[in-house]
A and B are shown apart, each in its own frame.
Chain A
Amino acid sequence: MRSVTYAAAIREALAEELERDEQVFLIGEDIGESGGVFGVTKGLIERFGTDRVLDTPISEEAIVGAGVGASLLGGRPVVEIMFSDFAALAMDMIANQAAKTHYMTGGRLSAPLTIRLVTGTAGATAAQHSQSLEAWFVHVPGLKCVAPSTPADAKALLKAAVRDPDPVCFFEHKLLYNRKGEIDDEVEPLAFGRSRVAREGTDVTVVAYLKTLHDALDAAELLESEGLSLEVIDPRTLVPFDREGLRTSLEKTGRLLIAHEAPVRGGFGAEIAAIAAEEMWETLRAPIVRVCGTNTPMPYAPELEGFVIPDATRIAQAARSLVGVGVA
């Protein structure tokens, strides 16, 4: 076992996939000579050359479009969108081309590209560089959506994404890049659709991902001394979503709290809540609660940013209320 950062784990996955398959290449803004704005691809252009690590002009549509075209011809592109906010400029390529190729060709073709989407706030990165837009992509049939919370999962899931025959949106939270975690010396791809129990508990199931998963774990730690036990579930992939993992936890706790940084309205938490309500109603003994971002753009001022996104304190308070403790 080794301790590496989330960014280093992603870099290792990219390097190992570039090494394994000559059809794999990276394409994006500033990913080559500068090593990426967050340093994730640092050193890869020196190791694999400019034919495999391609710097591009600032045109998200062209970057993703080139990736889609290459994937249709046998390539395995890994596209980087430096800030997921600007995936908006590439949505036709993602949602209308990559996502629908397999369906519209009756299964004859597919577009196996990985789109790395740098997401969430980095701390005062404001309204156009901080969004958590995973729900946009979850909504599009044909896309798979991955949201790793730890270095080990980031490496294993990125390797799986590169090898997957479908287009995969791979979300990376900026505030996780420097977070360290233990990973095995050899990491194999991790199949999609398998959630992880990040912490076992008995009173409330908390589903969270990316940075918010760590806030949920902090909340669980906080509440332990109060005698309240949270079970924290990391879904790891949003599409496919591990329904059985959720059911197993709800059969134990009977209470569901969902937390994410994205605005609450139409967020992925609504989908999880609907799955639980429609398919697992008999397990629930309390209303489902969401602790999510407010329905506002991300403000720049740190004091305001802290107000609009969830943290451990807010998750803990919601969990207390859910079990009838600390209700005003």
Chain B
Amino acid sequence: MTQQRLDEVAADVERELEEAAAFADASPHPAPEEALEDVYAETYEGAALR
């Protein structure tokens, strides 16, 4: 891999991080109950996963 390609990859990573940080800063804080979401990909009716 050339130095030019390495620099491009590093710049891409830096840009992605900056975009993610900007998105987070612009987003509302999550509701507390969101802490209970996404523990499992699938749940079952009548059988609480808690």
Contacts and interface: CB of A to CB of B under 8 A. Distances in A.
A102 B43 CA distance: 13
A107 B46 contact: no
A165 interface: yes
Interface SS, B side: loop
Contact of A193 (B37, B38, B39, B47): B47
A102 B40 CA distance: 7
Contact of B47 (A141, A164, A194): A194
A240 B44 contact: yes
Interface string B9-50: 000000000000000000000000000011111111011110
A193 B46 contact: yes
B34 to A, nearest CB: 9
Contacts of A106: 38
Given A239-B49, A240-B49, A103 B44 contact: no
Contacts of A305: none
A168 to B, nearest CB: 11
A32 interface: no
Given A240-B47, A242-B47, A165 B42 contact: yes
Contacts of A141: 39
B48 to A, nearest CB: 7
Contacts of A237: 47
A80 interface: no
A72 to B, nearest CB: 13
Nearest to A105: B38
Contacts of B42: 164-166
B41 A103 contact: no
A278 to B, nearest CB: 12
B41 A107 contact: yes
A142 interface: yes
Contacts of B37: 107
Contacts of A194: 47
A55 to B, nearest CB: 30
Nearest to B40: A166
A103 B38 contact: yes
Contacts of A193: 44, 46-47
A102 B46 contact: no
A103 B42 CA distance: 12
A5 B22 CA distance: 58
A192 interface: yes
- 8 smallest CB-CB distances across A and B, nearest first, come from A193-B47, A165-B41, A240-B47, A107-B38, A193-B44, A110-B41, A240-B49, A165-B42
14 contacts: A102-B40, A102-B41, A106-B38, A107-B38, A166-B40, A192-B44, A193-B44, A240-B44, A240-B47, A240-B48, A241-B47, A242-B46, A242-B47, A244-B46
Given A166-B40, A243-B48, 11 more contacts: A106-B38, A107-B38, A141-B39, A144-B40, A144-B49, A193-B44, A237-B47, A240-B48, A240-B49, A242-B46, A244-B47
